[in-house]
Amino acid sequence: MADDDTLRFYADNATTYAQHRTSASGGALDRFLAALPAGGRVLELGCGNGMDAERMLALGFDVDATDGTPGLVVEAQKRIGQRARVMRFEDLDAESDYDGVWASASLLHVPAAGLPQVLGSIRRALRPGGTFVASFKAGSGEGRDRLGRYYNYPSAARLGADYRAGGWSDLTLETTMGSGFDALPTEWLWMTARR
């Protein structure tokens, strides 16, 4: 399910990509952590340089930081030690292991047709009542950016429909403006859901 060209981009640019991001996710991450039990177990999908995992660990959470690119896992390990590991989204097979799942700007690389399957795996990995937060670049359809990375560009309606069809509850969608590694203005969709 992983897109080889996208994985290759991150493999070839792991160090530069890791140096680009200089602060944790801020308000969205804080709200996510506030919804979890103290010291709760968190799965991070797409940990990148480990900055969000570092913040979660500093606040006492038990973090399983993962990324599909070995080079980015190495970058995360520089920041948080051996607490990061290589795992692709489609390899998630945990059952009721986590209080929360954090996927900041990572699931946007899952082919649109495969997103419901990945959402199902995430739901199974959460304990009952667990919280899941993911961010996506808003849009419609699928395509590649100028750097060659694959993106699914969901509308708010399509994203909500995918989550509801997967049995998620308490959906909350927040829209923010920002940018990414490509430095282009970006409308971000932050979806929060409960198992």
CATH assignment of the domain containing 84: 3.40.50.150
Predicted confidence at residue 130, as pLDDT, reads: 98
Please tell me whether the overall predicted TM-score, pTM, comes out greater than 0.85 for this model.
yes
Predicted confidence at residue 56, as pLDDT, reads: 97
HEC readout, 93-158: CCCCCEEEEEECCCHHHCCHHHHHHHHHHHHHHEEEEEEEEEEEECCCCEEECCCCCEEECCCHHH
Judged by average pLDDT, the poorest of 22-26, 35-39, 177-181 is 22-26
Contact call for residues 193 and 163 (beta carbons, < 8 A) = yes
What's the CA angle centered on 126, arms 85 and 40, to 5 degrees? Answer: 75
Read off the amino acid at residue 132. Answer: F
Count of structural domains, the chain? 1
pLDDT in tens, 61-73: 999 999 999 999 9
Contact call for residues 83 and 66 (beta carbons, < 8 A) = no
Predicted confidence at residue 75, as pLDDT, reads: 94
pLDDT in tens, 99-110: 999 999 999 999
If residue 29 lies in a helix (H) or strand (E), which one and from where to where? Answer: helix 27-34
Residues near 3 by beta carbon (within 8 Å), at least 6 away in sequence: 109, 111, 149, 150
Tell me which residue range forms the domain holding 137: 4-194
Q: Once rounded to an integer, what is the mean pLDDT over residues 46-57? A: 95
